């Protein structure tokens, strides 16, 4: 898989701004934004929509008919961003995915690999970004150990980068 992975340690209060700025800077033709919790999916979907993005949400508490409708809109190109939880995203193959944004660091390193493996398939270029807070150090370390390399750190203009907390 070709791709660029990035991590920016940001304060929790800056994550939404970092997320929508990342989506704005990148040309996201078809991107998935992963959150760890349903409430975060709903909040981030509202924030992205407020900032002019054509986004939809997908999580495990949605009715199957609504999930199917959402997937068809996304797969058909009616919307370019799908904010989703891991539970709702399992086993969903979407061709031509240009980006993956990990709004939340995956709880399990294997979930990270599963998430970013959704982009850059079949020799296509794809990009994956992860927004980590200072408290995410232990989870990021587990991911880096699993993939056998460090995730490059990126600076987002106007947002202060934070070091991971000691002891995580």
Judge if pTM exceeds 0.75: yes
Q: What is the pLDDT of residues 67-106, one digit of tens each?
A: 999 999 999 999 989 999 887 666 777 878 888 888 889 9
Q: Is 38 exposed, middle or buried (0-12, 13-18, 19+ CB in 10 A)?
A: middle
pLDDT at 14: 58
Lowest mean pLDDT among 11-25, 29-43, 87-101: 11-25
d(CA 56, CA 18): 19
Q: Which comes out higher in pLDDT, residue 42 or 20? A: 42
Q: DSSP readout, 51-68?
A: TT--EEEE-TTS-HHHHH
d(CA 8, CA 150): 13
Q: Taking residues 34-56, report their average pLDDT.
A: 89
């Amino acid at each position: 898989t070709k791709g660029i992975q990035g991590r920016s340690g940001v304060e929790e209060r800056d994550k939404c701004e970092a997320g929508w700025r990342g989506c704005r800077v990148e040309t996201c033709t078809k991107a998935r934004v992963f959150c760890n919790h349903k409430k975060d999916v709903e909040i981030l979907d509202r924030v992205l929509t407020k900032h002019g993005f054509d986004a939809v949400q997908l999580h495990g508490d949605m009715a199957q008919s609504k999930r199917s409708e959402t997937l068809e809109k996304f797969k058909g190109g009616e919307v370019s961003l799908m904010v989703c939880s891991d539970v709702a995203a399992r086993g969903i193959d979407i061709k031509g995915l240009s980006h993956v944004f990990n709004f939340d660091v995956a709880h399990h390193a294997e979930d990270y690999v599963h998430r970013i493996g959704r982009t850059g398939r079949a020799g296509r270029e794809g990009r994956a970004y992860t927004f980590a807070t200072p408290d995410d150090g232990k989870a990021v370390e587990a991911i880096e150990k699993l993939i056998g390399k460090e995730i490059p750190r990126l600076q987002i203009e106007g947002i202060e980068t934070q070091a991971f907390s000691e002891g995580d």
